[in-house]
Chains A and B, each alone.
Chain A
Amino acid sequence: MTDHAVFATTRRVLLVVVVVIQLGLTLPVLVTHSREASWVAFVLLSSVLVAGFVAELPAVIALPGTALVLVASILATTALPHAASFGPADWAFGLVGWYVLLLLIERPKVAMAALAAHIAFSVAWFLHDGNGDLGTAGVVILSGTSLQIGVLVMTRVLVRDARLAAEAAAEHDAARTREELARQREQDLRTGFAGQLGAVLPLLADLADEVVSAADEPTRLRCSVAAVQLRRLFAENDEVPDPLLHELTACVDVAERRGVVVSLAVSGTATPVPTEVRRELVAPMAQALAAADGRAKVSLLRTADEVRVAVVADAPGVLPDGGSPALVTVETSVHSGLVRSEARWRTT
């Protein structure tokens, strides 16, 4: 795209140059030294001007166009009066060079070859014709072609710089996108954490404000619940083959640290469970484990159409409120000192 822009601009400039030279410089010369073949060459060159309006020239236009220009060059040179090569009457020599550039600006190698052919023929004709001033010829050739080759080189440099700039810009954009993505992800994680910190933040606030005391049993229960919730939250983003079991194990681990003897039984094969559902499946069991003392049995059962997480535990105290789940069915009951809590999720 950037190459295209450079070539299109250069061609537009070259078009202006060619038109100015052709109308402003060569036409007056041609009128005074008019010959039939010269006019044919002039018309041939003018017909190629159309190509100057095309932004990007395909080879099928550029190469035949160049052939026409070279034919015009031969016609114009051979039609010159005796010993007029490279003199004021040689209207075509510089103009043909600009036409070659106009047609072949994207193809520097072909352009160089065409220029070389044009110069070689002009020089050969000059030598064949004889009697010319060698010094004047050298100055005309050098000044004319060096400017044209300079334009060719400048265009290459511009193209290269444009490419480098485009790459730098793309890299900059990609960096900006990555930065924005990382910021977004971090923000999501933050909001996610804040949303699931659940009991932790109010508890910390109450402890800091000395509204509650760590010596009280209810506060200890709240701490216990918060510890299990936090541990589960840390486990939630781990990359593991069986995330639900991983989160259960994390909660069991916290309870075992508190001295509860927990046995964990797993049955059935792992099935994918969405994060939201996992949270709700684990929550009741985490609540019950936080309140448990003595022994607890945690079980995970995965049948063809259901995932069931249950806990049966010695829990003398009152269970903390588990909130109201939206995606799973929770059933909690107390039977002679044992609390049983089960969360069920239908996979189908």
Chain B
Amino acid sequence: MADDVTAVVVDDHPVVRAGVAHWLSTAQPPIALVASGEDPEVAWTAPAESVVVLDLHLGGAAPAMPALRRLVEAGRKVVVYSMRADDDTALQCLEIGALSYLTKSEGADHLVQAVRAAAAGQSYTPPALAGALAGDRSETRPALSPRETEVLVEWFQSESKEFVAQRLNITLSTVNSHLERIRVKYAAIGRQAPTKAALVARAIQDGLIGLDDL
């Protein structure tokens, strides 16, 4: 039972909480929902290893960035689930230390994969986020190799990793490792957070990325 993935859903709309709960419980294997509510405080009632699915816009006008920051600094694994698709917000959440950023227009498949990846301490990059990373023009953005950029762009454009693999003539796992490397490069910049540090450490340990690449 220790390997079972558990999750907490924080969203101000009951229908979204119910929908997410349904998606998680019908996933194969199912993901157990241990708590849900409209206040970020509910996340603290759940076990520390639970993945927090956090809506950024909880009633108030300002996004719930402070709540995200507190959770991440306590080492919680957070998947941001937002109705907003603007690149800046997505990049800001990654900077703070969210393991994934999903827009609500992205379906169950991406959410389940993101929760599973987060439970293992890994990042997940859905197509919209890949687009945000590919279009990132900030001064501090990490240097990506041409191949990494191409993978990001193709993934953003097609939403199909099989298609990307076929197009670039690489294997599916290579597509995934390119995406992971990109996220590790992003985790290595900006402010430090336990989740980001763990992401980088693990990537180096696995030989996915060398210290020179960072």
In contact, B127 and A265 (Cβ under 8 angstroms): yes
Residues of A within 8 Å of B87, CB to CB, are: 267-269
CA distance A239 to B132 in the complex (A): 26
The smallest beta-carbon distance between B138 and chain A, in angstroms, is 10
- Chain B residues contacting A266 (CB-CB under 8 Å) are 85, 131
Q: Which of A12-20, A35-43, A252-260, A332-340 contacts B (4 or more CB under 8 A)?
A: A332-340
Contact call A302/B135, Cβ cutoff below 8 A:
yes
Give complex CA distance A336, B128 in Å: 24
Answer whether A301 and B166 are a contact pair too, CB < 8 Å, given A265-B128, A312-B158. no
B25 within 8 A of partner (CB) = no
Main SS class of interface, B: helix
Beyond A265-B156, A299-B156, whether A312 also contacts B131 by CB under 8 A is: no
B166 and A308 contacting across the interface, CB-CB below 8 Å: no
Q: A301-B156, A340-B158 are in contact. Are A265 and B131 (CB under 8 A)?
A: yes
| B159 contacts A297, C-beta separation under 8 Å | yes
Nearest Cβ on chain B to A342's Cβ, whole angstroms? 7
Chain A residue at minimum C-beta to C-beta distance from B129: A267
Report the separation of the CA atoms of residues A312 and B156 in the bound assembly, to the nearest whole angstrom.
11
0 or 1 for each of B172-201: is its CB under 8 Å from A? (1 = yes): 000000000000000000000000000000
B135, B158, B159, B166: the one contacting A267 at CB < 8 Å is B135
Quick one: which of A263-291 are within 8 Å of B by CB?
263, 265-269
The docked-state distance in angstroms from the alpha carbon of A224 to that of B126 is 32
- In angstroms, Cα B137 to Cα A269, docked, is 9
- Considering only CB atoms and an 8 Å cut-off, how many residues of chain A contact the other chain? 21
How far, in Å, is A339 (CB) from chain B's closest CB?
Answer: 11
Cβ–Cβ < 8 Å partners of A263 in chain B: 105, 159
B166 and chain A: residue at smallest CB distance: A335
| Chain A residues near B85 (CB-CB < 8 A) | 265-266
> Using Cβ atoms and an 8 Å threshold, which residues of chain B touch A310?
157
| CB-contacts of B33-57 with A (<8 A) | none
Q: List 14 other contacts, CB 8 Å, given A268-B131, A299-B157, A303-B135.
A: A263-B159, A267-B87, A268-B134, A269-B87, A297-B157, A301-B153, A301-B156, A302-B135, A303-B134, A303-B137, A308-B157, A310-B157, A312-B160, A340-B163
Q: Which 7 A-B pairs have the closest CB atoms?
A: A268-B135, A267-B131, A267-B135, A310-B157, A312-B158, A299-B157, A304-B137
